[in-house]
Amino acid sequence: MKNEQTNNKKLVIANWKLHKTTAGVKKWLDQFLAEYQPADAIKIAISPSFPHVAAVRAYKTLDPKGLELAAQDVSRFKHASAHTGEVSAVQLADLGVKYVIIGHSERRRDFGETNENINEKIARCLENGLQPVVCVRNLTEADALIPIPNTQPLTIAYEPLEAIGSGQPASPAETQKMALAIKGILGENTRVLYGGSADSSNVTNYTNLDGVNGVLVGSASLDSMGFSKLVKAVSNY
Ligand code: PGA
């Protein structure tokens, strides 16, 4: 039986980071969904800030086009514990979130996230049926992930630091080499995304690579029309 990790659909995640207010979220969704046609080749997830998860979910419920929801982080602590300001995996699952971005380099850098924290967050996701999308800058960070059961393959986003938000994406050859090396460490059924200055003009250089299963898109996901163009390029419609 084909599972999500072994089928050929490319996963494209829009990571809005700390952008957008309620009105901006609505405008983006209105514009994007007016253009978007689901295609066999692609799966899309939108990753808003926590306060907007429910708003995106409401659109998703209204619109049957199959957009998925991703969160930008999750608490490493268990649900219903005393941790002010945290959001639990149980709460995300309850809101219809499917993917959770974990260990983004901005969180490692600005919030002191350690490999241990990241492994705890992966565990919280897997306990609650959420799919972790773990960001790694290099193979050392991939190596630090605790092996998980084969039945729950990981999604890894390979995001070299110098490529993030710089307009200087990694070369496709280097990306492919890293994607294959990550699968070598974590298992062949690991899904590997590329992230770092991917946009509508360069995205297929990555999504067409053997061994690369999609993209994590920051800056180029903020504008609905630009993201729409990127999605069309990947879906080839
Ligand atoms: P970027 O961000 O597309 O703006 O480089 C990617 C990321 O940080 O995930």
What average pLDDT does the segment 67-72 reach? 95
pTM: 0.95
Distance 36 CA to ligand 1 centre (A): 22
User: Roughly what angle, to the nearest 10 degrees, separates helices 224-235 and 22-35?
Assistant: 30
Report whether residue 193 contacts ligand 1, using a CB cutoff of 6 Å. no
Distance 78 CA to ligand 1 centre (A): 29
* pLDDT score at 2: 40
Read off the pLDDT of residues 33-54 as tens digits, 9 standing for 90 and up: 998 988 888 999 999 999 999 9
Query: Cβ–Cβ contacts within 10 Å for residue 219, how many?
Result: 17
Report whether residue 184 contacts ligand 1, using a CB cutoff of 6 Å. no
Read off the pLDDT of residues 77-122 as tens digits, 9 standing for 90 and up: 999 999 999 999 999 999 999 999 999 999 999 999 999 999 999 9
Catalytic center residues: 104, 159
Report whether residue 164 contacts ligand 1, using a CB cutoff of 6 Å. yes
Per-residue pLDDT band for 224 (boundaries 50, 70, 90) equals very high
